[in-house]
């Protein structure tokens, strides 16, 4: 007979309920206990009976992930990591690209039931607050900085302090005319607002006055936007000696403009981005950046959804806000 929950519990020296909690992926199990249970699972070769579990639970084993744009390497990477984290639970992930359209985000949230989808991990761009509430009984986890105190569990980094860290790195190098690329006016551009706030805070901290001429708008967060904004900065009366770009794509576009005009990076202009996408690890010069802990974001999103989908105490608690770490990654574009 194949080993069961009872055998795992006996070997790990815990209750059957604890083994069940680990198998179902509830995050409130202590790390040491979880490790012991996992060791016992591996030693015994225990395989949870997923088909039976799904039948019992009425779940389909399929979740949805909605992101604004898969052509953004950051979202593609997060999607890949979520697919991997979900696979460890034998879940299939269906991904919806919303392009940030309010109507499509709304349809998505409303239409899950029909497609036998158990739950949703959602990085909204257009909707906020109560608009995001899914139909009763459809678990949802929100990603990104747009929604605090929303209707569902939420995972994000501290965007403002991450932007301040990027800018502080530039001031610490003695740069004094530090530009920002990616400023957006519209109220829904929460990411851009927070990164601008962090930039300004770090400048103030270093005793540098904010200069509106150095705060460059960008329609989107793509390479072409960064290239165009950098060209405008170089054409201005007093070009910058450093640039904080609100994401890596903007920074890679800015790099292209700088290098094609013969401006030395970082000699004349230091450049830092945000996201730590793979492109910036292979560009010449390689790109300094802020790295959100993307694997942790993906794992937490899947774990939180698993809790909501389970029958444990966490299935129906109040929405939780989880903050994920980020770190400064110094590469050739600021420290050549």
Residue ranges binding a copy of itself (CB under 8 A) = 60, 62, 64, 69-71, 73, 76-77, 79-80, 83-84, 87, 92-97, 99, 104, 107-108, 111, 114-117, 222-224, 227, 252-253, 255-256, 259-260, 278-279, 281-284, 286
Pairing label, strands 62-67, 119-122: parallel
Shorter beta-carbon distance to a copy of itself: residue 159 or 257:
257
Q: By C-beta, is 211 or 268 nearer to a copy of itself? A: 268
Shortest Cβ 319–a copy of itself spacing (Å): 25
Please, which residue, 19 or 265, has the CB nearer to a copy of itself? Answer: 265
Give rounded-to-5 percent helix, strand, coil for the chain: 45, 15, 40
Query: Can you tell me whether residue 115 is helix, strand or coil?
Result: helix
Cα gap 125→147, rounded to integer Å: 10
Q: In terms of CB distance, is 117 or 305 closer to a copy of itself?
A: 117
For the bound state, the minimum distance from the C-beta of residue 140 to a copy of itself, rounded and expressed in Å, comes to 16
> Is 292 strand, coil or helix?
strand
For residue 252, the minimal CB distance to a copy of itself (Å) is 6
The minimum distance between CB 198 and a copy of itself, in angstroms, equals: 25
Nearest approach, Cβ of 96 to a copy of itself (angstroms)?
Answer: 6
Q: Which of 232, 231, 218, 224 is nearest to 252 (CA)?
A: 224
Are 101 and 163 within 8 A, CB to CB? no
Contact 216, 229 (CB under 8 A): yes
| DSSP structural state of residue 128 | -
For residue 212, what are its two tokens? 């509106």
Which of 317, 336 has the CB closer to a copy of itself?
Answer: 336
Provide the minimum distance between the beta carbon of 45 and a copy of itself in the complex, in angstroms, as a whole number.
19
62 beta partners: 92
78 vs 214 by CB, closer to a copy of itself: 78
Element (H, E) at 66: strand 62-67
d(C-alpha 208, C-alpha 204), whole Å: 5
């Amino acid at each position: 007979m194949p080993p069961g929950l009872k055998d795992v519990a006996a070997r790990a020296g815990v209750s059957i309920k604890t083994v069940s909690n680990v198998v179902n992926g509830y995050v409130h199990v202590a790390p040491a206990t979880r490790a012991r249970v996992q060791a016992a699972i591996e030693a015994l070769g225990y395989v949870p009976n997923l088909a039976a579990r799904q039948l019992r639970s009425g779940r389909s084993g399929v979740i949805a992930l909605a992101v604004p744009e898969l052509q953004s390497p950051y979202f593609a990477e997060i999607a890949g990591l979520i697919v991997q984290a979900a696979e460890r639970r034998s879940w299939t992930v269906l991904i919806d690209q919303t392009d940030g359209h309010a109507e499509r985000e709304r349809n998505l949230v409303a239409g899950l039931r029909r497609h036998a989808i158990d739950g949703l991990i959602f990085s909204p761009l257009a909707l906020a607050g109560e608009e995001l509430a899914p139909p009763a009984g459809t678990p949802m986890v929100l990603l990104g900085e747009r929604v605090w105190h929303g209707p569902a569990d939420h995972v994000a980094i501290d965007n403002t302090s991450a932007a301040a860290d990027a800018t502080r790195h530039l001031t610490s190098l003695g740069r004094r005319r530090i530009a920002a690329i990616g400023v957006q006016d519209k109220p829904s551009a929460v990411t851009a607002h927070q990164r601008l706030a962090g930039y300004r805070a770090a400048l103030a901290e270093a005793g540098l006055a904010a200069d509106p001429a150095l705060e460059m708008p960008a329609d989107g967060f793509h390479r072409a936007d960064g290239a165009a904004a950098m060209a405008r900065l170089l054409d201005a009366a007093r070009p910058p000696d450093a640039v904080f770009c609100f994401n890596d794509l903007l920074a890679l576009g800015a790099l292209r403009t700088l290098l094609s005009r013969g401006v030395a990076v970082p000699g004349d202009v230091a450049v830092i981005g945000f996201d730590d996408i793979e492109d910036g690890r292979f560009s010449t010069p390689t790109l300094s950046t802020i790295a959100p802990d993307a694997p942790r974001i993906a794992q937490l999103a899947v774990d939180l959804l698993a809790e909501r989908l389970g029958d444990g105490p966490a299935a129906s608690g109040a929405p939780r806000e989880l903050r994920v770490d980020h770190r400064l990654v110094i590469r050739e574009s600021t420290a050549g």
